[in-house]
Chain A
Amino acid sequence: MNLHWARAFQQLMPSLIQGVGVVLYVTALGFIGALILALLLAIGRVSKNKILNRILIVFIEFIRGTPLLVQFFYIYYVIPMLIDGIAAVFGMEIDVQFSATFSGIVGFTINYGCYMSEVIRSAILSVDPGQREAGLALGFSETQVLFKFIIPPAVRNSIPVFGNYLVMMIKDTSLLAMISVQELLLRAKTFASQTFMTVEAYTIVALVYLILSVPLSRLAVALERHLKRARLKQKEIKG
């Protein structure tokens, strides 16, 4: 077997660098979307509204019980058709299409949002009930207490787990190759099939994923430590 690492590297790298851009773009937007959705879902889940609670449980179980890849396909192919169909009922003829990248971002938002909402929810439930009582006793309302004294420590305690999810999302962007997003895996696959440098292409792409994900998980650990240290230091107070 003849392997041409230098040539493969030279020819594949420019394309992969563009792919890294796509991966970071989709992950960044997908993760921010997931965080926002997770927070909303978690708040809904800890609210006292039983009907809302039931609906959210069903929704979250539905998303967690189906594969992420199927969800990407569903958003990319099925949802636009459903929208067209509904529009047709009202006598409108439209042709909705989502870009593959957009579908990916929405898919990540929904899928990771559901998983991360459970993280935030359990973090909210594990905040000392004394925080709530202290807030109420001072005259804050239940809602104020939730947003001022419960959610901030809950989110802070969730940061290490969020770090793991971020790394997972980076790797899961490889699934987007299946709906034709020009991310890393699809570029490597195209390159391999054109040049027959299969070993080189897939090895290089695996290493690129590694280079992306390892610093991120280190970063999450560092952030956690930094937050912890910041709390042990004294803040400057004037007066």
Chain B
Amino acid sequence: MALLEIKNLSKSFGDLQVLKDINIQVEKGEVIVIIGPSGSGKSTMLRCCNLLEKPTGGQIIYKGEDITGLGKKVKNYRKSVGMVFQRFNLFVNKTVLDNVTIAPIQLNKLPKAEAEAKALDLLDKVGLKSKAGVYPETLSGGQQQRVAIARALAMDPEALLFDEPTSALDPELVGDVLEVMKKLAKDGMTMLVVTHEMGFARDVADRVIFMADGYIVEEGTPDEIFTNPKNERTKAFLSRVLEK
């Protein structure tokens, strides 16, 4: 059984249909990278995966349970599937340490000392243990994003959703964040990543999905997509982004 299954997902904003009949199966430990031109619905698709956007049709099935009809119980699902945002979204009124510990302490009832020890450990892993006591606004974008990853990891998620995690970063800060993500992938984390980083997709992904106009146009191994794309739109997109 797939860990996460997106089944016939569709989403409309008013008359505008942005997702059409999306089907993805995510196996445990798999890293899936979703690429495609802006406006193709990638981010919306990812946001539907934890119901930050409510799907118009279709199902999101997690461990065999359809979560689209859960109502308020969706909280429990969200605890086990973390999300990393394009704009980091660290809590501005909390220190770095509190950002990482608040959910485990308040939602999982982890004792404070234990949560803090674990948080410092995670911050160490993303190279920011020394920043535990500062407020997010004093950090660079790349540092904030690594804290955001540590915050998501603190809940011991079964899977992580990344919504263009490096798009808002200065070019020289992208590398550190991608490094952390690579390490996660190697450690067996299940990841669904929307990104424009083709190098990351090629190196890390188990599967690459190309989306355009709300459809999944093509999917396959990185090799299949990058060296031998079949669809014309995939070819056109890749030739444009890889030229740069």
Contacts and interface: CB of A to CB of B under 8 A. Distances in A.
Interface of A: 128, 130-131, 133-141, 144, 148-149, 152-153, 156, 231-237, 239
22 contacts: A128-B87, A130-B87, A130-B88, A131-B92, A134-B85, A138-B78, A138-B82, A138-B155, A140-B106, A141-B75, A148-B91, A148-B102, A148-B106, A156-B93, A231-B137, A231-B138, A232-B138, A235-B97, A235-B133, A235-B134, A237-B132, A239-B116
B95 interface: yes
B89 to A, nearest CB: 4
Contacts of A134: 83, 85, 89-91, 148
Interface in B127-172: 132-135, 137-138, 148, 151-152, 155
B103 A139 contact: yes
Contacts of A233: 134
A138 B91 CA distance: 12
* Residues of A contacting B: mostly: helix
B85 A133 contact: yes
Contact of A236 (B52, B93, B133, B137): B133
Contacts of A234: 133-134
Contacts, number: 81
Contacts of A153: 92-93
A152 B93 contact: yes
Contacts of B78: 136-139
B79 interface: yes
Contacts of B152: 138
A135 B72 CA distance: 14
A5 B222 CA distance: 91
Nearest to B83: A137
A153 B76 CA distance: 26
A228 to B, nearest CB: 10
A183 B237 CA distance: 76
A126 to B, nearest CB: 12
A156 B179 CA distance: 36
B2 interface: no
Contacts of B44: none
B120 interface: yes
